[in-house]
Structure 1
């Protein structure tokens, strides 16, 4: 029998056909495989295709055949990702404010290629459930990559930083002056990506929204602030900062209703000590960055949480309440 045409592409096309058209619930027969290969202008006989299906295992694609009627049907039995795992990744991408709408759709289309066309439809349906606000800064992916490279090469970065004005226009902060920061890590908090770095001029650790950085470049200068970051637990830093707003770090004592035990544990972790106060309340000491966002969090929990100390923080809480009362009087 004459050798089929486009033989160099046969194994690649066979892998493509099996991955796109089969899964645990969808199978393909040998005549269907041959027909699909012909659509790609690849011709082959059954005998060589049987051998090729076995060869796919060398590419990490395991194909299983099972008898049906007078022949066999085939499907891919294992993939790098299961459908529930990909759904989880799709949800994470959609809920991430720092990923633009265009990039969200592009990433999901790439994830769809990891499953059959039938399972891909289940991922596509999820694209439309999200009406969440997304960043408009398309360069964020290159920004993140540059930050990681700067960290690995122990170098500073420089960038401009912007905010939105009432005209919905980008407005450069510090009159467009460049920020010179030593990057030490990235944190994902409240659906946003933050750079955590050392500001040598201010002599302290600061954080910046990555999607609000512009014209970021790697500097030739070596990073500074290593001694500060030796003492810093990145996860702990994010936990103490409400909405990643800075503030003076304080150990604050709270009186909390028992029903909010889960809320406190979710926020501060299981390592904190909940000390019974009475039958309905407990006290807890937590490290926080005292800010208006922290006070807002306390207010949102209503009468079920009260700040007991230190006195300075209690006084600040009272001032914030009075300010709100004046604002709405």
Structure 2
């Protein structure tokens, strides 16, 4: 009950504008600052929340437009008011009208102020060529999510190779400033994260599908002990980190199982972390402030990467 409603409360605190200190949000919600950071991670799936560093830093909602009246019915607006007042998460979970209203809110987040209502019908089997607008594809993919229809995409992978995929779209997800389509890929028969800017073209079909995957649970699983959201190799890390970088590391929750031990002028960071290349990138971002103690195979891998980097300089 608390997590959902506190996330909504935090959203409206940020909606007031300006930079809000984390400690002030925590005080108003009567939770810890660590919990506030978790709420931020949840809200960032749909909203752009900027982290401002420094003594006057905190969180700032970027682009706080909430066009509820343009897209929600009067009944749905009243239902939302009832939920916020009741603070009862069971009411949300057992009320399909509320769930539908929240889906519509998520849709409006993807739209600008001048865009038409989601009631506009987007024709099926319309092909979009390369050079598409990210905002436009976000809107059309979200429409396909609401309608629960399959989409055929031509997708360019990391190597630049394009393949045609038939997917069942579940959610639009923002991660590190990039928008992704979370969808079940019928070619690979598993859930995949498709970066919107790499979708070369697409066809929204009229083929309906039933959702059989709990995407929220999947994202939560990925987030729990992963430095990213894409899975990868698992490492049992033991890092020795010097100040001032140690301050940055110990002040944040990177994975739920992390352990930080204070040493003389440094910290010992221990965690089981999933992420493959993202774990390596994270460690390299600490520069000379970090020493990899364990595992040995990761030490060797980073050493080889650095040797190759030196060759290219």
Q: Give the structure-2-normalised TM-score.
A: 0.49
Q: Give the structure-1-normalised TM-score.
A: 0.47
Decide which structure has the larger Cα Rg and report it.
Answer: 1
Bigger fraction of residues in helix: 1
